[in-house]
Structure 1
């Protein structure tokens, strides 16, 4: 019998906190276990990664989450990450997220509250910044919301729009990428409840709903998404921690089941994965339970391509823990872990 080909996973980590940089692994299709195949520490603090394709070959992109901010590209075809050129400045401070859209790299620059656009060259390497979109405003939290803090930038499922989540101003910005000139322009702002501190969003498989995870309050904001108008409309909120939970917790990442039945959230501080059930409309979410994340300070939470396993990147305990998801209940069960100091990101490809 032919065995399925193992998939690959790439891990990002904070080199300034003892991380090893970018780690390449293969994933055992039967168990979900990770096995290291290569590592690169040539870029400082590659905290967030994403994959793109150039001439049919995969290229891994990483932000360099430093005060001066940068991005880098890596060849990964043979399982050993090799930098394509050097780190390229993003003209923004402390980028925390990036996406590849229409031949460009888009970065969300947390420190400067801006988005940057960098064209991708023929060899897959990022070119110089071609555009910067600066946000403004503030929020009620004097420590975390003194100014804009762009935390994520993602394309919508239709490919017509780019959405940016701004923790500092309790806003999701809807933008347009003008690929021909490498620039972003603002289209619309969606205001969320003041002080919630939105961090990341994820779309429902129907493409008509989005879930915005809030960092400063342990909640998720449920939104309708109109791809024709580029309009995001908040309709409800749901808690991601049980009522009466003591101590501060900072939700970090969310994942939506491929069939739209479940929503999972990583909670830093509480060190848990929350399981929320979604109704058929996609507009009601109910907290079912929480389970331990398998470590401390889960910064990333990723569902694999099969939809059967979740992977948590536990930054402070230095490990990636994987879980098998019960399809009937949505509850993850711990299945194993892989050591990765100061790990912050898992991406499959």
Structure 2
């Protein structure tokens, strides 16, 4: 039932753990890249690569052992080696790409030969050739795609997240400084900007988003949804296609990231953070930060598309405590059912939290496991800002 916390049992994740062993996680925190094993009850640290002043706020993994990490505090994107079977993480980067400053998002192309890196500072997307056997960067990006159009009060375009759609051809770039979504076409590795969709409101700050498919659409998604940082809203777009190509996006819905019964204590200061669409194309999860409440929260929404037209309507389901403050990023586990939501908090309470996802998408009110901030944070730095499961079955993944 909507609005009620799920009481889903942990039987599924327990069985998966017995069959597959502990999950391997990679975590980014200020000055640290950390490896963890998760056995459905505890987080056990297994690796640590530390470099003061760096910020690995986003990472992407290419099997069997290539870990790409941003440093949003510089103009470098770094390649480490990480073997999940032995929990071995290189202490230093094995390759470094020097490009735009302030990279905060990474996305592979479909065959993992190119890496797209989005700059929050310059508002552009650098494309790197990483096809070498060792995954190394070249001397410079093979192309940089600059975001264009008017900007909001930020005064500059900000490429905050890049998300590849399921067919592998197109990439959505959430432009926090331009109040727009830019679509890059990766056909024939040309990476041309082909669509720009403006949000209906200004100074809202689109941050993270995801693709949704509600009906067969020639292999392309039917919708894209984005969460806005400044206004704590979600904006839903219908994808316009013609002759097997994306030709536009039309905004069809906007709504608050808070349910009516779960408002922030400080609506002016509140800032939404993460948005993840589950692989069932039904469940959407959004993080609410700086709410002024005792803890921040994760909201669960449902895609209502129970008709033959494929038209979607986003409906609030429930809100859950994040277990701390500033849940900047979370991700779903790599099993087919995505049975666990792994979340991070940058301040207070639990640095890492694991929630069980029920069969209807709800999260368990009581977390499956937590890890205290004191066990992760160093000095006066913030806690974790990124968490992702690393596959151990030989398949590549990223934090989509």
Name the residue aligned to 2:103.
95
Give the alignment partner of residue 302 of structure 2, picking from 260, 268, 277.
277
Q: How does 1:1-349 map to 2 (within 5 A)?
A: 3-15=19-31, 21-28=32-39, 31=40, 33-42=42-51, 44-53=54-63, 57-66=64-73, 68-77=74-83, 78-82=86-90, 83-90=92-99, 92-101=100-109, 102=111, 103-120=113-130, 121-128=132-139, 129-140=141-152, 142=153, 145-177=154-186, 184-193=191-200, 194-204=202-212, 206=214, 207-226=221-240, 228-230=244-246, 231-243=248-260, 245-247=264-266, 248-270=269-291, 271-280=296-305, 281=310, 283-306=312-335, 307-317=338-348, 319-328=351-360, 330-333=362-365, 334-338=367-371, 339-341=375-377, 342-349=383-390
Q: Which has the higher contact order (CA 8 A, sep 6+)?
A: 2
Q: State the alpha-carbon separation in 1 of the partners of residues 121 and 339 from structure 2.
A: 36
Q: State the alpha-carbon separation in 1 of the partners of residues 344 and 251 from structure 2.
A: 29
Q: Which runs of 5+ in 2 are unaligned?
A: 1-14, 215-220, 378-382, 391-400
Deviation at 1:89, TM superposition (A): 1.2
Asked if the contact 2:210/2:275 (under 8 Å) is kept, the reply is yes
Q: State the alpha-carbon separation in 2 of the partners of residues 269 and 125 from structure 1.
A: 38
Q: State the alpha-carbon separation in 1 of the partners of residues 81 and 180 from structure 2.
A: 35
Q: TM-score, normalised by structure 2?
A: 0.77
Q: State the alpha-carbon separation in 1 of the partners of residues 123 and 148 from structure 2.
A: 7
Indicate the structure (1 or 2) with the bigger Cα radius of gyration.
Answer: 2
| 1:204-236 superposed Cα distances (whole Å, 9 cap, x missing partner) | 255322211111111111122346322332211
Deviation at 1:310, TM superposition (A): 1.0
Q: TM-score, normalised by structure 1?
A: 0.88
Asked if the contact 1:32/1:309 (under 8 Å) is kept, the reply is no
Cα 1:35–1:220 change in 2 (3 A) is: same
Q: Which runs of 5+ in 1 are unaligned?
A: 16-20
Higher percent of residues as strand: 1
Name the residue aligned to 1:18.
none
